[in-house]
Structure 1
Amino acid sequence: MSVSPDVESQSSGARSRSRCLDTFLTVSVIALFIMFIVALAAALLFVKHIESEMNARTTQDSDGQKGPLEMVAPGAAYKMQNFAYLRATNSQLKENVMEWESIPYGKGQSIGSMYSYEKNQRVLNVNEAGSYFLYVQLTFSCTHICPAGQFTTSFYNQDNKKQLTCTVSLPKMPDMNGSLPVSRTCWHVITLPEQKSRLLAKTEFSEQTLNNWKLDLNDSGFGMFLVDRLGAA
């Protein structure tokens, strides 16, 4: 029995529509991926910009010259209320809750009004619900003969759920000749659904000790900034 031309044309049309739909979905996924990468690249550039301003502010000469906060665009104050940066304060590598501190920035500190840091509990309070870009940079140096191992820092919220984990592989250093710092930066976009959220960082090692490895305080810290408020129009 022969197939009628109408049935053949319908089948061909269905296949054509299916191919068009597959192509559309594929292109849409690729476009969304590219947009995501571009947004993250812009976020990283913004983080580096703010960090460089804060580092310059901490090394400002006491000659009465204006610091970076006074010289940047008027929108900097708005940006800073959404931004927080804290620097590591203990160079010793221990399995514990990490210690941080804010640094001078303009007439205040490197924590915007949306945040507060509890030094005794080593907790950063985040006062608004939303999506945040969270990153951490860890830099290590070897002071003598250093063993190989892994150092991991994980950020937890108030429900003890991991928001970001960063693991640094430290090589064996038989001596100090020619040894270079070991550094890694990790980031993630996290969602904090509650108006009052808390973040703290805990450390763990692959080895029992990492003798003679030290955390470089000037190049180790974490920061975050608001990407999108939950419920925002």
Structure 2
Amino acid sequence: MNTQNAEMDVESLQKRRRGCFLDAFLVGSVMFLFAAVTTLAVVGVMTVKDVESRLKPPSWTSESGPLKLTDVSSSAVFTNFAYLEATTSGLKNATMQWAVQQTSVGHNFQYDRTNHWMMPVQSGNYFMYVNLNFTCTHICPSGDFTIHVGEGVVDKLSCKVHLPKLQDSTAVIKKCWTVSSVASKQKLISHMTVPKEGLDNWSLDMGLGMFLVD
């Protein structure tokens, strides 16, 4: 009887040890998975913020005030970067008109103020993006707005936004981007299209940027 009790005690002790090891393994696995998920989440947030910061146009400042176009273009840092801001806020079927004041156009780009085209001097793959900020100023109809950036009927970048029917100053924000191959001396013109009935009382604040990737 004593021998049987001793064997039962040994088996019970072994089972308890195995149970403790299993519990410790499960706890360790859960902690590892939690740490891994947390790390991935942090890395994901940092990546998204980094991408968003790259999509935003830089702020040109200096000790003597805002940088002028000549200041920007003289820096090698901005040679392959260009950013333009729309000069009109109305939505209609028309060619976009851009301003280069307080924005940048590097040495690798040419901008024609009269014909409203931008042309890269160097062929390559370009990261292109548009920042669209729509604001309803009164009673605004619904409809689709599209911006096309390209030469002729060939789009290098297009962005379509559906604007809802609104009666207040609610903002609609949209960002579109792509990487596209652009040839040297290819003139890029931006056109916006709206429905036949129009998009009255909608106001647009828009920026167009591009930089050479390779």
- TM-score normalised by L of structure 1: 0.63
Deviation at 1:39, TM superposition (A): 9.8
3-state SS, counterpart of residue 147 of structure 1: coil
What is the percent sequence identity of the aligned residues? 37
Residue type matched to 2:140 in 1? C
2:210 equivalent to 1:227? no
Q: 1:165 to 1:130 in 2, by over 3 A?
A: same
Match of 1:188 in 2: 178
Structure 1 runs, 4 residues or longer, greater than 2 Å off: 38-48, 65-69, 76-79
Q: Check the 8 A contact 1:90/1:99 in 2, yes or no.
A: yes
Q: How do 1:14-29 residues align onto structure 2 when only pairs under 5 Å count?
A: none
Q: How do 1:105-116 residues align onto structure 2 when only pairs under 5 Å count?
A: 110-116=104-110
Distance in 2, Cα, partners of 1:41 & 1:168 = 23
Residue type matched to 1:201 in 2? S
Distance in 2, Cα, partners of 1:146 & 1:170 = 9
Distance in 2, Cα, partners of 1:90 & 1:46 = 25
Q: 1:39 to 1:201 in 2, by over 3 A?
A: farther
- TM-score normalised by L of structure 2: 0.68
Deviations 1:72-125 (A, max 9, x none): xxxx93230100000000111110111111133xxxx51001111111111001
Query: Cα RMSD (Å) of the superposition?
Result: 2.5
Distance in 2, Cα, partners of 1:41 & 1:224 = 19
Unaligned segments of structure 2, at least 5 residues: 1-45, 68-73
Deviation at 1:126, TM superposition (A): 1.0
Paired residue total: 163
2:44 equivalent to 1:46? no
The structure 1 residue matched to 2:81, chosen from 77, 80, 83, is: 83
Distance in 1, Cα, partners of 2:48 & 2:80 = 17
Q: 1:95 to 1:115 in 2, by over 3 A?
A: same
Unaligned segments of structure 1, at least 5 residues: 1-37, 70-75, 229-233
2:165 equivalent to 1:132? no
2:168 equivalent to 1:168? no
Q: 1:40 to 1:187 in 2, by over 3 A?
A: farther
Distance in 2, Cα, partners of 1:169 & 1:123 = 26
Q: 1:42 to 1:130 in 2, by over 3 A?
A: farther
Deviation at 1:204, TM superposition (A): 1.0
Distance in 2, Cα, partners of 1:137 & 1:190 = 17
